[in-house]
Chains A and B, each alone.
Chain A
Amino acid sequence: MIPARALSALDPAEARAFTDHLAGCEECRRELQEWESTAAAMAVSANPMEPSPKVRERILDEIRNESKSEVIPFRSATRNIWTSFGSLGAIAAVILLTALIAGLVVLWRQNNARQLELARAQEFMELATTPGAKTMRLDGVDLGAGATAKLAYDKNGHAMLMADKLPKVPQGKAYQLWFIVGKNPPMPGKTFVPDDTGKGMLEDQVPATAMDSAVFAITMEPVSGVDAPTGPIYLRSSTIN
Protein backbone atom coordinates (compact mmCIF):
# COMPACT_ATOMS: atom_id res chain seq x y z
CA MET A 1 0.00 0.00 0.00
CA ILE A 2 2.87 2.38 0.73
CA PRO A 3 4.26 2.46 -2.85
CA ALA A 4 0.75 3.27 -4.12
CA ARG A 5 0.45 6.01 -1.53
CA ALA A 6 3.80 7.44 -2.69
CA LEU A 7 2.23 7.71 -6.14
CA SER A 8 -0.96 9.11 -4.54
CA ALA A 9 -2.78 6.35 -6.37
CA LEU A 10 -4.79 5.01 -3.46
CA ASP A 11 -8.52 5.23 -3.78
CA PRO A 12 -10.08 7.85 -1.47
CA ALA A 13 -11.19 5.44 1.27
CA GLU A 14 -7.81 3.67 1.34
CA ALA A 15 -6.00 7.01 1.30
CA ARG A 16 -7.98 8.26 4.30
CA ALA A 17 -7.38 5.06 6.26
CA PHE A 18 -3.68 5.11 5.47
CA THR A 19 -3.36 8.78 6.44
CA ASP A 20 -4.93 7.95 9.80
CA HIS A 21 -2.51 5.08 10.21
CA LEU A 22 0.48 7.23 9.34
CA ALA A 23 -0.27 9.65 12.15
CA GLY A 24 0.72 7.00 14.67
CA CYS A 25 3.31 4.96 12.78
CA GLU A 26 6.80 6.39 12.53
CA GLU A 27 8.07 3.35 10.63
CA CYS A 28 5.48 3.74 7.87
CA ARG A 29 6.19 7.47 7.63
CA ARG A 30 9.87 6.72 7.15
CA GLU A 31 9.14 4.05 4.57
CA LEU A 32 6.76 6.37 2.73
CA GLN A 33 9.52 8.97 2.43
CA GLU A 34 11.78 6.40 0.81
CA TRP A 35 9.11 5.48 -1.71
CA GLU A 36 8.36 9.14 -2.36
CA SER A 37 12.02 9.62 -3.17
CA THR A 38 11.79 6.86 -5.80
CA ALA A 39 8.53 8.25 -7.17
CA ALA A 40 10.08 11.74 -7.36
CA ALA A 41 12.79 10.38 -9.65
CA MET A 42 10.08 9.80 -12.25
CA ALA A 43 9.74 13.57 -12.55
CA VAL A 44 13.15 13.66 -14.20
CA SER A 45 11.87 11.51 -17.04
CA ALA A 46 9.71 14.41 -18.26
CA ASN A 47 11.34 16.74 -20.76
CA PRO A 48 12.88 19.62 -18.83
CA MET A 49 11.37 22.85 -20.07
CA GLU A 50 12.10 26.52 -19.60
CA PRO A 51 9.28 28.57 -18.09
CA SER A 52 8.81 32.20 -19.04
CA PRO A 53 11.21 34.54 -17.18
CA LYS A 54 8.10 36.34 -15.99
CA VAL A 55 7.32 33.48 -13.60
CA ARG A 56 10.52 34.15 -11.67
CA GLU A 57 9.72 37.85 -11.57
CA ARG A 58 6.18 37.21 -10.38
CA ILE A 59 7.37 34.93 -7.59
CA LEU A 60 9.94 37.42 -6.34
CA ASP A 61 7.47 40.32 -6.60
CA GLU A 62 4.93 38.34 -4.62
CA ILE A 63 7.27 37.46 -1.77
CA ARG A 64 8.45 41.07 -1.58
CA ASN A 65 4.84 42.22 -1.36
CA GLU A 66 4.21 39.64 1.35
CA SER A 67 7.24 40.88 3.27
CA LYS A 68 5.88 44.42 3.08
CA SER A 69 2.40 43.40 4.12
CA GLU A 70 3.80 41.67 7.17
CA VAL A 71 4.72 45.14 8.44
CA ILE A 72 1.18 46.52 8.03
CA PRO A 73 -0.20 45.24 11.35
CA PHE A 74 2.51 47.27 13.10
CA ARG A 75 1.37 50.43 11.35
CA SER A 76 -2.33 49.93 11.97
CA ALA A 77 -1.74 49.06 15.60
CA THR A 78 0.23 52.27 16.05
CA ARG A 79 -2.50 54.26 14.36
CA ASN A 80 -5.18 52.85 16.65
CA ILE A 81 -3.23 53.65 19.77
CA TRP A 82 -2.52 57.10 18.40
CA THR A 83 -6.17 57.97 17.89
CA SER A 84 -7.41 56.43 21.09
CA PHE A 85 -5.02 58.24 23.41
CA GLY A 86 -5.33 61.84 22.28
CA SER A 87 -3.24 63.52 25.03
CA LEU A 88 0.31 64.88 24.74
CA GLY A 89 1.53 62.54 27.44
CA ALA A 90 0.09 59.64 25.62
CA ILE A 91 1.67 60.86 22.39
CA ALA A 92 5.06 61.04 24.10
CA ALA A 93 4.55 57.54 25.44
CA VAL A 94 3.68 56.33 21.99
CA ILE A 95 6.81 57.99 20.56
CA LEU A 96 8.92 56.25 23.19
CA LEU A 97 7.16 52.98 22.54
CA THR A 98 7.68 53.38 18.79
CA ALA A 99 11.37 54.11 19.32
CA LEU A 100 11.63 51.04 21.54
CA ILE A 101 9.90 48.91 18.92
CA ALA A 102 12.14 50.35 16.19
CA GLY A 103 15.19 49.46 18.29
CA LEU A 104 13.89 45.96 18.79
CA VAL A 105 13.19 45.62 15.08
CA VAL A 106 16.77 46.70 14.31
CA LEU A 107 18.11 44.14 16.79
CA TRP A 108 15.77 41.50 15.38
CA ARG A 109 16.94 42.25 11.86
CA GLN A 110 20.58 42.12 12.93
CA ASN A 111 19.91 38.80 14.59
CA ASN A 112 18.12 37.56 11.47
CA ALA A 113 21.02 38.69 9.30
CA ARG A 114 23.44 36.78 11.55
CA GLN A 115 21.25 33.69 11.43
CA LEU A 116 21.09 33.99 7.66
CA GLU A 117 24.83 34.31 7.44
CA LEU A 118 25.26 31.28 9.66
CA ALA A 119 22.80 29.29 7.57
CA ARG A 120 24.70 30.18 4.42
CA ALA A 121 28.03 29.31 5.99
CA GLN A 122 26.61 25.98 7.09
CA GLU A 123 25.30 25.23 3.61
CA PHE A 124 28.69 26.13 2.20
CA MET A 125 30.46 23.82 4.63
CA GLU A 126 28.05 20.99 3.84
CA LEU A 127 28.76 21.42 0.15
CA ALA A 128 32.52 21.77 0.62
CA THR A 129 32.69 18.59 2.69
CA THR A 130 30.71 16.34 0.38
CA PRO A 131 32.85 13.56 -1.14
CA GLY A 132 34.60 14.75 -4.28
CA ALA A 133 33.94 18.45 -3.63
CA LYS A 134 36.56 21.03 -4.57
CA THR A 135 37.25 24.28 -2.78
CA MET A 136 38.86 27.37 -4.24
CA ARG A 137 39.90 30.68 -2.77
CA LEU A 138 39.47 33.85 -4.79
CA ASP A 139 41.70 36.81 -3.97
CA GLY A 140 41.02 40.44 -4.72
CA VAL A 141 43.01 42.00 -7.52
CA ASP A 142 43.30 45.64 -8.62
CA LEU A 143 39.96 47.32 -7.84
CA GLY A 144 39.00 44.35 -5.69
CA ALA A 145 42.13 44.47 -3.51
CA GLY A 146 41.24 43.40 0.02
CA ALA A 147 38.22 41.38 -1.08
CA THR A 148 38.18 37.59 -0.70
CA ALA A 149 35.87 34.78 -1.64
CA LYS A 150 35.54 31.04 -1.21
CA LEU A 151 34.04 28.83 -3.85
CA ALA A 152 33.11 25.18 -3.45
CA TYR A 153 31.50 22.81 -5.90
CA ASP A 154 30.51 19.19 -5.68
CA LYS A 155 31.08 16.42 -8.17
CA ASN A 156 27.85 17.36 -9.91
CA GLY A 157 29.03 20.92 -10.45
CA HIS A 158 26.68 22.54 -7.92
CA ALA A 159 28.71 25.51 -6.74
CA MET A 160 28.45 28.03 -3.92
CA LEU A 161 30.46 31.23 -3.71
CA MET A 162 30.78 33.34 -0.57
CA ALA A 163 32.49 36.69 -1.03
CA ASP A 164 33.53 39.29 1.52
CA LYS A 165 34.70 42.91 1.49
CA LEU A 166 33.71 43.55 -2.09
CA PRO A 167 33.34 47.20 -3.12
CA LYS A 168 29.75 48.42 -3.44
CA VAL A 169 28.29 48.20 -6.89
CA PRO A 170 26.63 51.22 -8.55
CA GLN A 171 22.92 51.07 -9.43
CA GLY A 172 22.31 48.67 -12.30
CA LYS A 173 25.60 46.84 -11.80
CA ALA A 174 26.44 43.48 -10.22
CA TYR A 175 29.33 41.09 -9.88
CA GLN A 176 29.42 38.21 -12.33
CA LEU A 177 31.19 34.87 -12.01
CA TRP A 178 33.28 33.51 -14.89
CA PHE A 179 34.72 30.08 -15.63
CA ILE A 180 37.93 30.26 -17.61
CA VAL A 181 39.46 27.12 -19.09
CA GLY A 182 42.84 27.54 -20.74
CA LYS A 183 42.81 30.16 -23.44
CA ASN A 184 39.14 29.61 -24.28
CA PRO A 185 36.70 32.49 -23.98
CA PRO A 186 35.41 32.83 -20.38
CA MET A 187 32.12 31.05 -19.77
CA PRO A 188 29.55 33.27 -18.01
CA GLY A 189 28.12 32.43 -14.61
CA LYS A 190 25.40 34.19 -12.64
CA THR A 191 25.44 37.67 -11.12
CA PHE A 192 25.08 38.79 -7.52
CA VAL A 193 24.95 42.04 -5.62
CA PRO A 194 26.78 42.18 -2.27
CA ASP A 195 25.16 43.67 0.82
CA ASP A 196 26.25 46.91 2.46
CA THR A 197 29.16 45.20 4.19
CA GLY A 198 30.50 43.77 0.94
CA LYS A 199 29.31 40.22 1.61
CA GLY A 200 27.77 38.35 -1.27
CA MET A 201 26.64 34.82 -1.96
CA LEU A 202 25.92 32.97 -5.17
CA GLU A 203 24.86 29.48 -6.20
CA ASP A 204 25.68 28.39 -9.72
CA GLN A 205 26.40 25.38 -11.89
CA VAL A 206 29.98 24.80 -12.98
CA PRO A 207 30.06 23.91 -16.71
CA ALA A 208 31.17 20.34 -17.37
CA THR A 209 34.25 21.55 -19.22
CA ALA A 210 35.34 23.60 -16.21
CA MET A 211 35.00 20.85 -13.61
CA ASP A 212 38.58 19.65 -13.60
CA SER A 213 40.69 22.67 -14.27
CA ALA A 214 39.48 26.24 -14.46
CA VAL A 215 40.18 29.70 -13.19
CA PHE A 216 37.23 31.33 -11.49
CA ALA A 217 36.98 35.09 -11.75
CA ILE A 218 34.58 37.86 -10.75
CA THR A 219 34.03 41.01 -12.77
CA MET A 220 31.62 43.92 -12.42
CA GLU A 221 28.97 43.88 -15.13
CA PRO A 222 25.41 45.05 -15.84
CA VAL A 223 23.04 43.46 -13.33
CA SER A 224 21.46 41.23 -15.98
CA GLY A 225 24.87 39.69 -16.76
CA VAL A 226 26.72 39.54 -20.05
CA ASP A 227 27.97 36.76 -22.29
CA ALA A 228 31.56 38.01 -22.39
CA PRO A 229 33.29 40.03 -19.68
CA THR A 230 33.40 43.78 -20.18
CA GLY A 231 34.60 44.98 -16.78
CA PRO A 232 37.82 44.55 -14.80
CA ILE A 233 38.50 41.47 -12.68
CA TYR A 234 37.84 42.01 -8.95
CA LEU A 235 38.51 38.46 -7.73
CA ARG A 236 40.47 35.58 -9.17
CA SER A 237 40.88 32.01 -7.98
CA SER A 238 43.80 29.95 -6.75
CA THR A 239 43.23 26.29 -5.87
CA ILE A 240 43.64 25.37 -2.22
CA ASN A 241 42.61 21.74 -2.41
Chain B
Amino acid sequence: MKAIAARDEAALAQLYDRYRLILFGLLMRILGNREEAEDVLQEVFLQVWRKADDFDETRGRPFTWLVTLGRSRGIDRLRSLASRERVAEAGAREASEEVSDAASDAFLSEQRGLVNNALAQLPDEQKGPLMLAYFDGLTQSEIATRLGAPLGTVKTRMRTGLIRLREMLASHGESFGF
Protein backbone atom coordinates (compact mmCIF):
# COMPACT_ATOMS: atom_id res chain seq x y z
CA MET B 1 0.00 0.00 0.00
CA LYS B 2 2.93 2.32 0.66
CA ALA B 3 4.16 1.75 -2.87
CA ILE B 4 0.69 2.55 -4.24
CA ALA B 5 0.56 5.72 -2.19
CA ALA B 6 3.92 6.58 -3.80
CA ARG B 7 2.17 6.26 -7.22
CA ASP B 8 3.66 2.92 -8.18
CA GLU B 9 1.45 1.54 -10.96
CA ALA B 10 3.10 -1.87 -10.76
CA ALA B 11 2.19 -2.13 -7.08
CA LEU B 12 -1.47 -1.46 -7.88
CA ALA B 13 -1.34 -4.07 -10.64
CA GLN B 14 0.10 -6.57 -8.18
CA LEU B 15 -2.56 -5.77 -5.59
CA TYR B 16 -5.18 -6.32 -8.28
CA ASP B 17 -3.62 -9.63 -9.31
CA ARG B 18 -3.61 -10.80 -5.72
CA TYR B 19 -7.16 -9.92 -4.75
CA ARG B 20 -9.13 -9.82 -8.00
CA LEU B 21 -10.60 -13.33 -7.64
CA ILE B 22 -11.91 -12.70 -4.13
CA LEU B 23 -13.22 -9.22 -4.85
CA PHE B 24 -14.83 -10.12 -8.15
CA GLY B 25 -16.38 -13.22 -6.58
CA LEU B 26 -17.76 -11.03 -3.79
CA LEU B 27 -19.13 -8.45 -6.23
CA MET B 28 -20.70 -11.16 -8.38
CA ARG B 29 -22.32 -12.60 -5.30
CA ILE B 30 -23.72 -9.19 -4.37
CA LEU B 31 -24.68 -7.93 -7.82
CA GLY B 32 -25.12 -11.16 -9.75
CA ASN B 33 -24.25 -9.37 -12.95
CA ARG B 34 -20.86 -9.52 -14.63
CA GLU B 35 -20.99 -6.11 -16.26
CA GLU B 36 -22.01 -4.34 -13.06
CA ALA B 37 -19.51 -6.32 -10.98
CA GLU B 38 -16.63 -5.51 -13.33
CA ASP B 39 -17.59 -1.85 -13.33
CA VAL B 40 -17.59 -1.74 -9.53
CA LEU B 41 -14.33 -3.71 -9.37
CA GLN B 42 -12.75 -1.03 -11.54
CA GLU B 43 -14.16 1.71 -9.29
CA VAL B 44 -12.76 0.01 -6.22
CA PHE B 45 -9.20 -0.17 -7.52
CA LEU B 46 -9.34 3.39 -8.82
CA GLN B 47 -10.43 4.46 -5.35
CA VAL B 48 -7.54 2.47 -3.88
CA TRP B 49 -5.20 4.34 -6.21
CA ARG B 50 -6.64 7.71 -5.23
CA LYS B 51 -7.01 7.01 -1.52
CA ALA B 52 -4.04 4.77 -0.74
CA ASP B 53 -2.76 7.51 1.56
CA ASP B 54 -5.82 6.96 3.74
CA PHE B 55 -4.87 3.37 4.47
CA ASP B 56 -3.45 3.08 7.97
CA GLU B 57 -1.54 -0.16 8.33
CA THR B 58 -1.68 0.09 12.11
CA ARG B 59 -5.45 -0.16 11.90
CA GLY B 60 -5.84 -3.30 9.89
CA ARG B 61 -4.80 -5.42 6.96
CA PRO B 62 -5.05 -4.37 3.31
CA PHE B 63 -7.37 -7.34 2.79
CA THR B 64 -9.93 -6.01 5.26
CA TRP B 65 -9.69 -2.50 3.83
CA LEU B 66 -10.11 -3.72 0.27
CA VAL B 67 -12.96 -6.09 1.01
CA THR B 68 -14.79 -3.54 3.16
CA LEU B 69 -14.41 -0.97 0.40
CA GLY B 70 -15.42 -3.44 -2.30
CA ARG B 71 -18.48 -4.65 -0.44
CA SER B 72 -19.56 -1.11 0.39
CA ARG B 73 -19.32 -0.11 -3.28
CA GLY B 74 -21.10 -3.27 -4.32
CA ILE B 75 -23.99 -2.69 -1.92
CA ASP B 76 -24.22 0.97 -2.98
CA ARG B 77 -24.50 -0.16 -6.60
CA LEU B 78 -27.05 -2.79 -5.71
CA ARG B 79 -29.19 -0.21 -3.98
CA SER B 80 -28.91 2.23 -6.85
CA LEU B 81 -30.03 -0.27 -9.44
CA ALA B 82 -33.64 0.17 -10.39
CA SER B 83 -34.65 -3.44 -10.10
CA ARG B 84 -32.79 -5.73 -7.78
CA GLU B 85 -34.76 -8.73 -8.94
CA ARG B 86 -33.98 -8.12 -12.59
CA VAL B 87 -30.24 -7.94 -11.92
CA ALA B 88 -30.31 -10.97 -9.67
CA GLU B 89 -32.07 -13.00 -12.30
CA ALA B 90 -29.58 -12.00 -14.98
CA GLY B 91 -26.74 -12.76 -12.62
CA ALA B 92 -28.01 -16.18 -11.71
CA ARG B 93 -27.52 -17.19 -15.31
CA GLU B 94 -24.02 -15.74 -15.54
CA ALA B 95 -22.86 -16.97 -12.17
CA SER B 96 -23.66 -20.51 -13.08
CA GLU B 97 -21.46 -20.37 -16.15
CA GLU B 98 -18.15 -19.99 -14.43
CA VAL B 99 -17.29 -21.13 -11.00
CA SER B 100 -13.91 -19.68 -10.44
CA ASP B 101 -10.29 -20.32 -10.88
CA ALA B 102 -10.11 -20.91 -7.16
CA ALA B 103 -8.56 -24.29 -7.67
CA SER B 104 -5.52 -22.56 -9.14
CA ASP B 105 -4.90 -20.80 -5.84
CA ALA B 106 -4.34 -23.34 -3.09
CA PHE B 107 -4.10 -20.72 -0.37
CA LEU B 108 -7.40 -19.12 -1.35
CA SER B 109 -9.04 -22.54 -1.47
CA GLU B 110 -7.79 -23.27 2.03
CA GLN B 111 -9.12 -19.95 3.35
CA ARG B 112 -12.49 -20.55 1.70
CA GLY B 113 -12.61 -23.94 3.34
CA LEU B 114 -12.03 -22.44 6.78
CA VAL B 115 -14.68 -19.75 6.37
CA ASN B 116 -17.25 -22.03 4.77
CA ASN B 117 -16.75 -24.63 7.50
CA ALA B 118 -17.21 -21.98 10.14
CA LEU B 119 -20.36 -20.64 8.45
CA ALA B 120 -21.70 -24.18 8.07
CA GLN B 121 -21.44 -24.67 11.80
CA LEU B 122 -23.67 -21.69 12.51
CA PRO B 123 -27.34 -22.45 13.03
CA ASP B 124 -29.46 -21.27 10.08
CA GLU B 125 -31.21 -18.77 12.32
CA GLN B 126 -27.86 -17.01 12.85
CA LYS B 127 -26.31 -17.62 9.46
CA GLY B 128 -29.36 -16.40 7.51
CA PRO B 129 -29.38 -12.84 8.91
CA LEU B 130 -25.60 -12.59 8.52
CA MET B 131 -25.76 -13.56 4.86
CA LEU B 132 -28.68 -11.23 4.17
CA ALA B 133 -26.79 -8.35 5.75
CA TYR B 134 -23.44 -9.08 4.16
CA PHE B 135 -24.34 -10.08 0.62
CA ASP B 136 -27.75 -8.44 0.16
CA GLY B 137 -26.97 -5.28 2.09
CA LEU B 138 -30.16 -5.46 4.15
CA THR B 139 -30.47 -3.57 7.41
CA GLN B 140 -31.61 -5.29 10.57
CA SER B 141 -35.15 -3.94 10.13
CA GLU B 142 -35.26 -5.14 6.53
CA ILE B 143 -34.02 -8.56 7.61
CA ALA B 144 -36.68 -8.74 10.32
CA THR B 145 -39.35 -7.93 7.75
CA ARG B 146 -37.92 -10.41 5.25
CA LEU B 147 -37.79 -13.22 7.81
CA GLY B 148 -40.95 -12.25 9.63
CA ALA B 149 -39.04 -12.22 12.91
CA PRO B 150 -39.04 -9.62 15.71
CA LEU B 151 -36.35 -6.96 15.26
CA GLY B 152 -34.83 -7.70 18.68
CA THR B 153 -34.52 -11.36 17.81
CA VAL B 154 -32.76 -10.55 14.54
CA LYS B 155 -30.33 -8.23 16.30
CA THR B 156 -29.47 -10.90 18.87
CA ARG B 157 -29.02 -13.61 16.25
CA MET B 158 -26.78 -11.45 14.08
CA ARG B 159 -24.62 -10.48 16.99
CA THR B 160 -24.37 -14.03 18.27
CA GLY B 161 -23.63 -15.34 14.79
CA LEU B 162 -20.81 -12.90 14.16
CA ILE B 163 -19.32 -13.55 17.60
CA ARG B 164 -19.31 -17.29 16.92
CA LEU B 165 -17.80 -16.78 13.49
CA ARG B 166 -15.02 -14.71 15.01
CA GLU B 167 -14.36 -17.34 17.67
CA MET B 168 -14.23 -20.16 15.13
CA LEU B 169 -11.87 -18.28 12.81
CA ALA B 170 -9.70 -17.28 15.77
CA SER B 171 -9.49 -20.93 16.79
CA HIS B 172 -7.59 -21.55 13.55
CA GLY B 173 -4.95 -19.15 14.78
CA GLU B 174 -2.37 -18.35 12.12
CA SER B 175 -4.12 -20.53 9.55
CA PHE B 176 -6.63 -17.85 8.72
CA GLY B 177 -5.70 -14.51 7.28
CA PHE B 178 -4.64 -12.81 4.07
Contacts and interface: CB of A to CB of B under 8 A. Distances in A.
B88 interface: no
A240 interface: no
Contact of A47 (B13, B16, B67, B99): B99
A20 interface: no
Contacts of B2: 119, 122-123
A56 B16 contact: yes
Interface stretch (A1-9, A163-171, A230-238): A1-9
A190 B18 CA distance: 12
Contacts of B22: 43-44, 46, 48
Interface residues of A, number: 60
A3 B68 contact: no
A11 interface: yes
Given A48-B102, A60-B13, A123-B3, A116 B8 contact: yes
Interface string B92-107: 0001001111100111
A76 interface: no
Interface stretch (A31-39, A83-91, A135-143, A175-183): A31-39
A6 B9 CA distance: 31
Given A4-B159, A7-B130, A205 B107 contact: yes
A205 B24 contact: no
B153 interface: no
Q: Tell me the interface secondary structure of chain A in the complex.
A: helix
A233 to B, nearest CB: 23
Interface string A35-71: 1111111111111111110111011101110110000
A45 B115 contact: yes
B71 A43 contact: yes
A147 interface: no
Interface in A63-106: 63-64, 66-67
B112 to A, nearest CB: 5
Given A4-B140, A10-B139, A43-B71, A38 B169 contact: yes
A207 B50 CA distance: 32
A55 to B, nearest CB: 5
Interface in B36-84: 37-38, 41-42, 45-46, 49-50, 59-61, 63-64, 67-68, 70-72, 75
Interface in A179-234: 190, 192, 201-203, 205, 207-208
Interface of A: 3-4, 6-12, 30, 33-52, 54-56, 58-60, 62-64, 66-67, 112, 115-116, 119-120, 122-123, 131, 156-158, 190, 192, 201-203, 205, 207-208
9 contacts: A9-B158, A12-B139, A42-B119, A43-B22, A43-B26, A55-B41, A59-B45, A67-B7, A203-B17
Interface of B: 2-3, 6-14, 16-18, 20-26, 28-29, 34, 37-38, 41-42, 45-46, 49-50, 59-61, 63-64, 67-68, 70-72, 75, 95, 98-102, 105-108, 111-112, 115-116, 119, 130-131, 133-135, 137-141, 143, 155, 158-159, 162-163, 165-166, 169, 174, 176
Across the A-B interface, give the 5 residue pairs with the lowest CB-CB distance, nearest first: A48-B21, A46-B29, A9-B133, A119-B2, A40-B67
